[in-house]
Amino acid sequence: MKDAEYDWIYSRIDAKPPSDSELSHLNGMSIVDTTVFMMRMSDINLKEKSLMLNAVLNLDYYESHFSGASPAIGIFNGQLKDQQQISRSVKNGRVHEVIKILAEVNPYYMTNMYPFDLELISLRLSPKVEDDLYYFRLNDLVDLTYVAQNDYNLVKMGVVNEVESNDFSSLTDNEHKLSYFGLNRAYMLFEHKNIYSYLKTFQYMLLAVSIALFALLINARTNSPKNGRVAVIGSSIFALSATVFQINASVKIINSLTVIDLVSFYSGAVIILCFLITVRTLRFLDEDGYPLAKLFDMIMFTVIFLYTNLFFIGVYLYA
């Protein structure tokens, strides 16, 4: 699951620059050299479909290619909400223009990996009108947010330029038309994986499992501890249910297996197992006496305790 998600991300940010043969398909188009200064972005929220970006664009292009007008900016992976020209100057036929934009982009969140998700936030510039004969060539991305995300660490940033093609087929005949266009990606890659976010997300699941597990150490020789032991294990079920509900309230539900599903299933299985062990312990008390029942409890406690530690450590290391 992790490898598939990471392959999807890195296939988009580690793409090689377009070759000369690919660039030759864009010879009839004007180039708008662009530097992106990322000023601010809203926090990553896995329940939301979009994210707001404030950026400043430095544009350089030939004035003669646009008849004195500015190239119209579109957002390939979202919507342009607002733009404001800060400055414009012309020197030796080249226009240098600074524009501030507010964009709403639609990222593809790695919800199934939460809280170990790796999130790719991209700004992709395109002509406002799809058939316009120019494209934005990104030269650099500069981060001026200082702290772009509070709960995520910035691990990589950069720009990617691509040459894409579309094959248009006529509905009335067999005519095919292949058209080429330039695409780009100014990206910031954020990592959520750290021990603090892991413990913060699953702390109450760990508590629920610990309550059920340590209940196995309660002396079940008399009726009062027997009833208390069953009650303690039962309370851990409610604690687990409340924790799962709280986590699902902050993460969008998706139709695939997630890390949260995996940890929830294991936690629930341990609690149910502790209840079944208690039932077997009570039978040992009735049939074989207290010493054997106590030995059974200690063996099962040790085995489950070790496997639980290995499970949660393994999830953190390999998820």
Per residue in 181-208, pLDDT tens? 788 999 999 988 778 888 888 888 999 9
pLDDT of residue 117: 87
Tokens standing for residue 309: 């530690």
CATH dotted code for 2-191: 2.70.170.10
- Residue identified by tokens 């020197």 is 91
**How many Cα neighbours within 13 Å face the side chain of 191?**
11
Q: What angle do CA 107, 111, 117 make, to 5 degrees?
A: 90
Report the C-alpha gap between 41 and 105 in whole angstroms.
10
Residue type, 69: A
Kindly give the interhelix angle for 195-214 and 259-287, rounded to the nearest 10 degrees: 20
Enumerate residue ranges in the chain where pLDDT < 50: none
What fold characterizes domain 195-318?
Methane Monooxygenase Hydroxylase; Chain G, domain 1 (1.20.58)
pLDDT of residue 52: 95
Torsion angles phi and psi, residue 312, rounded to 5: -70, -35
Q: Are 156 and 111 in contact (CB under 8 A)?
A: no
pLDDT of residue 95: 94
Of 305, 47, 41, 315, nearest in space to 197 by CA? 315
Report the C-alpha gap between 34 and 59 in whole angstroms.
5
Those residues whose C-beta lies under 8 Å from the C-beta of residue 234, and which sit 6 or more positions away, are: 275
Q: What angle do CA 139, 140, 146 make, to 5 degrees?
A: 165
pLDDT of residue 245: 85
Kindly give the interhelix angle for 259-287 and 223-250, rounded to the nearest 10 degrees: 170
Those residues whose C-beta lies under 8 Å from the C-beta of residue 249, and which sit 6 or more positions away, are: none
Torsion angles phi and psi, residue 294, rounded to 5: -65, -40
Kindly give the interhelix angle for 290-318 and 195-214, rounded to the nearest 10 degrees: 170
Phi-psi region of 146 (alpha: psi -120 to 50; beta: other; left: phi over 0): left
Phi-psi region of 202 (alpha: psi -120 to 50; beta: other; left: phi over 0): alpha
Q: What residue ranges do the domains of the chain occupy?
A: 2-191, 195-318
Tokens standing for residue 181: 């266009």
Of 308, 306, 296, 302, nearest in space to 271 by CA? 308
The model's pLDDT over 56-109, given as tens digits with 9 standing for 90+, comes to 999 999 999 998 788 999 999 999 999 999 999 999 999 999 999 999 999 988
Beta bridge partners of 29: none
Report the C-alpha gap between 231 and 248 in whole angstroms.
26
Beta bridge partners of 188: 121, 157
Report the C-alpha gap between 244 and 201 in whole angstroms.
10
Q: What is the mean pLDDT of the chain?
A: 86
